Structure 1
Amino acid sequence: MSPENIIQILTTELDGVAPKASWGETALFYNPGNLLPNGVYFCTIKEKDGDHDKSSNLKRDSIFRLSIGVGKDNYEKHFGTKPKRPAKGCIVNTGHDFTKLDELMPHPIYAWMSWVQILSPSKASFDLILPLIKDAHAIASLNFNKKVTKNKGQAV
C-alpha cells in the first residue's frame, strides 16, 4: 500500500476526514464542516524523518509510518501498560525494533499517549488494523464534538 492509497481509503470510508499535509507528514483530522481550525487528528502518515524523530529510519526508499491514536483501552489490549513519556529527543523503552516493517507496535515517541505505528503496511495488515483506525476516528469524533460544544458555549 502507499500513503496515497491509505488516505484515499480513509477519506472515502470514514466521515468528516480532512487530510492536511506539511513537512513530509499528512495528518488526518476529524473535522466535518471545517468547524475547527484543524479538527482532531486520529491518524498520521509520515514519509520522512524529522529533526527529533529518526527512530523509524524513514529515509529508506518507499518506507512510511502510519500512526494511529488508538486510545488507552486499545493500546493496553495490544501492548499492556503504556510506557512513560520519553525524555526530549528520546524514544520510549518498549523493546520494539521501530524500524521493522509491516508490524503493529507502539509509537516510538507517542506511545505514552496511546499511539501505535506500523511501517509500510501491506494490504493484509492494513485490513487487520482498519478497526483500530475506525476506533481512533470514533474517539476523534467524540473529542471534536466536545470541542465544538465548548466553543459554542464560549461564543454565547
Structure 2
Amino acid sequence: MDEVELTQYITTSLAGVDVVEKDGDRYFFYDPGEQAPPDRRFPFATLVTGDRHDQFSQLDRTGIYRLNIGVSKETFRSLLGPEPFSPPAAGTVSSEYDFTAIDRWLPHPVYGSMYWVSVLNPGAATLEMMKSLLAEAYEMSSRRQGKTT
C-alpha cells in the first residue's frame, strides 16, 4: 500500500475525516463538516514522507513513508510491551528499536511516550492491525471532539 492508497483507505473507510496536506505529509483529523476551530483539532493519524521533523526513520529514502497513529495506553503496551517508551536523545538513536525497519510496529520515535505507534510502509505483516489501530484512534478522536464542541 503506497501513500495515496493509504490516504484513500483512511478517507473512504472512516467518515468525517479532514486531511490537511503540508510539505508532502498528511494529517488526518476527525472533523465532520470541518466545524472544529483549527486550534482545537489534533490529528488521530499522520503520514510523514520526509525527514523534516526527525531523522530517526530515514524517510528520505526513495519510496519510504511512516504512518503514525495515536492509540490508547493499553493498545500501545499490548503492541510494544509494558515499559514506558522514552524518546531517544536528540540526534541519536540509542534504542532497542530499529526505527528504519519496514512493515513493523514501533513506538513513534519522538511521540512514543504519548502512546503513538508507527509503521514504515505498512504491508502484509501490519495491514490488519493497522486497520484496527486506525479505527481505535478515529474513535478516540471522535469522542474527544464530542466533548469539546
- Give the 3 Å change call, closer, same or farther, for CA 19–25 of structure 1 in structure 2: same
The answer for the alignment partner of 2:44 in structure 1 is 42
SS at match of 1:130: helix
Give % identity: 34
Distance 2:92 2:115 in 1: 14
Distance 2:64 2:98 in 1: 15
Distance 1:15 1:92 in 2: 37
The answer for the alignment partner of 1:113 in structure 2 is 114
TM-score, normalised via structure 1 length? 0.85
- Give the 3 Å change call, closer, same or farther, for CA 60–112 of structure 1 in structure 2: same
Distance 1:104 1:34 in 2: 31
Report the more deviating stretch, 34-43 or 129-138.
34-43
- Which amino acid letter does the alignment assign opposite residue 84 of structure 2? K
Distance 1:112 1:92 in 2: 15
The answer for the alignment partner of 2:3 in structure 1 is 3
The answer for the alignment partner of 1:53 in structure 2 is 54
Shift of 1:123: 4.7
Distance 2:46 2:142 in 1: 16
Taking only aligned residues, the RMSD between alpha carbons, in angstroms, comes to: 1.9
Distance 2:87 2:112 in 1: 8
Whether 2:17 is the aligned partner of 1:17: answer yes
- Give the 3 Å change call, closer, same or farther, for CA 7–84 of structure 1 in structure 2: same
Instruction: Point out where structure 2 has 5 or more consecutive residues left out of the alignment.
Output: none
Listed one character per residue, the Cα deviations across residues 108-134 of structure 1 (whole Å, up to 9, x for unaligned) are 100000001100111552223210110
Alignment length (residue pairs): 146
Flag the structure with larger Rg: 1
Is the 1:72–1:114 contact (alpha carbons within 8 Å) kept by the matching residues of 2?
yes
| Pairing of 1:28-107 with structure 2 (within 5 A) | 28-38=28-38, 39-50=41-52, 52-79=53-80, 80-84=82-86, 89=90, 94-107=95-108
Whether 2:132 is the aligned partner of 1:131: answer yes
Report the more deviating stretch, 53-62 or 31-40.
31-40
Is the 1:75–1:82 contact (alpha carbons within 8 Å) kept by the matching residues of 2?
no
- Which amino acid letter does the alignment assign opposite residue 120 of structure 2? L
Distance 1:106 1:112 in 2: 8
- Which amino acid letter does the alignment assign opposite residue 31 of structure 2? N
Instruction: Point out where structure 1 has 5 or more consecutive residues left out of the alignment.
Output: 149-156
